[in-house]
């Protein structure tokens, strides 16, 4: 799975996540030197594993477990969840089907997150590359 960020802004970071032919848009906090809860995730390669979350546990969306990015230096509990703007995440990644025209967030987050969790149902581990590049 690849997350390609195409907008690093003061208000947040916007990207595109692709996984096995499916595309999702992402919203994160701005880059703030990897500070927990207020920064987007550093670019790199990571493992993503199932995580039981007390907060993000709606069985209609998360199918019982959330996805958590592992082994990010000095960070924990980086989850994929429903979020429309950077203010909706605390160092996590929100998923959407569309991008706001002003690049301040993503739309249809509940639909995109449900689609992602349905697509990855039955898997226990994923690999992700987080990078930056142009939206093509």
> What's residue 65's pLDDT?
78
Nearest to 113 by CA among 53, 36, 47: 53
65-79 average pLDDT score: 93
pLDDT, average across residues 6-35: 97
Q: What is the mean pLDDT of the chain?
A: 92
Length of the chain: 136
Position 111 scores a pLDDT of: 96
pLDDT per residue as tens digits for the range 21-61: 999 999 999 999 999 999 999 999 999 999 877 666 666 66
With CA atoms as reference, report the closest residue to 79 among 97, 100, 102, 61. Answer: 61
pTM over 0.85: yes
pLDDT at 113: 95
**What pLDDT is recorded for position 57?**
62
Q: What is the pLDDT of residue 90?
A: 94
């Amino acid at each position: 799975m690849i997350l390609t960020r195409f907008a690093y802004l003061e208000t947040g970071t916007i990207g595109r996540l692709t996984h096995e032919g499916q595309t999702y848009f992402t919203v994160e906090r701005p880059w703030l030197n990897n500070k927990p809860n207020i920064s987007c995730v550093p670019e790199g390669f990571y493992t993503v594993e199932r995580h039981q979350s007390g907060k993000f546990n709606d069985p209609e969306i998360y199918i019982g477990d959330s996805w958590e990015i592992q082994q990010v230096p000095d960070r924990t509990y980086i989850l994929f969840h429903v979020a429309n703007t950077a203010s909706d995440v605390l160092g996590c990644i929100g998923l959407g089907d569309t991008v706001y025209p002003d690049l301040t967030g993503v739309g249809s987050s509940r639909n995109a997150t449900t689609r992602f969790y349905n697509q990855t149902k039955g898997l226990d581990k994923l690999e992700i590359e987080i990078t930056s590049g142009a939206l093509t």
